[in-house]
Structure 1
Amino acid sequence: MRVSARVRGRTYQETCGLVNAWGELLNRSGWRWSYFGHLTYKQPVTKIGADRDFNRFVRGIDEKCFGRRYRERGKHITFARGVEYQIRGVLHNHVLLGLT
């Protein structure tokens, strides 16, 4: 996999190592990813605001898939999320979702 961007403060080789480590972690046989997506903001948002919005997003999916009492039943989606700043300075989320 070619990495075109660098992780802040890391060399190209370190960035490649991080990408490979994430790939190995996310490809573990026990995890099944059903969907992937990108969540982008039109206007700048704080990290706290982005976290709040993402939690609402996940909670909405949980309620839609498993009902409003999904926590009591012990059901929920599995997710992996990566957050980065776009060139224009706005937060951007990369998301993997797995239905359990």
Structure 2
Amino acid sequence: GYRHYLPEQVKRLRFIKRAQALGFTLDEVGILLKLDAACTCRETRALAVHKLALIELKMADLAALRQVLGGLVQECDAGAGGAACPIIDVLNRE
């Protein structure tokens, strides 16, 4: 039941897992592997810069969502128990 990998295969698997941990998709990992074989640091850097920009956009979006949800939770905490739920009200808006 055990798989035995050659050292080069282990190296490639680690590369793939580390790239995925940094947020690269499998398609992007494939590109990185090709770039590694071609020794093209400039293109690799460009791909990493693009990925970083996407991550920063996602973080900004998540921060905005956090602020909105936090405000809605505070409205729930401050509201009367019998009043309409502000979270449900926001979700029901058209």
- In the superposition, the TM-score normalised over structure 2's length comes to 0.30
Q: Which has the higher strand share?
A: 1
Higher relative contact order, chain-length normalized (CA < 8 Å, sep 6+): 1
- In the superposition, the TM-score normalised over structure 1's length comes to 0.29
Q: Which has the higher helix share?
A: 2
